[in-house]
Homo-oligomer: A and B are copies of this chain.
Amino acid sequence: MQGVRLTPTSYIVLGLLSWVAEATPYDLKRMVAGSVGNLWSVQHAQLYTEPERLAKAGYLTEDRERGGRRRRRYAITERGRAALREWISMPTDDFTELRDPGLLQLFFGADPAELASTQLHVHEEKLREYEEVRARGSSDAPAGPRLALEAGIGHEREWIRFWRRLAKG
């Protein structure tokens, strides 16, 4: 019931469960894809182990179907909500972690123009995807995801500026 370390992954699970009455790991997986998954990648296997861990510590309740798929349904507890609230109210000064394989190749001497043409494609595609999500979003959607999406769009544009500059020598 006590003493687990809460990681960013934990807060993703708690955060998503604070928006819905209950969810199975598979539901979480779909919620993550196309939203928070863009700013913090989560392995699907974690969405099975992490809720289990959180349930053991009292942040969630677990309820398992008998027969059939034997889905586990999780719901957030008051203790879980409190932990989430507390985390949200303490602005972090932890730093952005960036992992960009293309940039790594550039660092170690890859041909800038050639690399740029590959990377440009990838980032243009991603930008298109984000802009589509934005277009679909209703105006009464929660502010958080909308703002995070704006951040993502801004960064994709920056990537595109950067690689475009390299592409033309």
Contact = CB atoms under 8 A, between A and B. Distances in A.
A108 B15 contact: yes
A14 to B, nearest CB: 8
Copies of this chain, whole number? 2
A89 interface: yes
Q: Identify which of A41, A110, A126 gathers the most chain B CB atoms within 10 Å of its CB.
A: A110
Contact of A11 (B88, B108, B158): B108
Interface of A: 8, 11-12, 15, 18, 35-36, 38-41, 84, 87-89, 91-112, 114-115, 117-119, 121-123, 126, 142-145, 147-148, 150-151, 154-155, 157-159, 161-162, 166
21 contacts: A11-B104, A12-B104, A15-B108, A39-B99, A40-B98, A41-B99, A91-B110, A91-B115, A94-B101, A97-B100, A98-B155, A103-B151, A104-B148, A106-B147, A107-B144, A107-B145, A107-B147, A109-B142, A109-B144, A112-B147, A157-B158
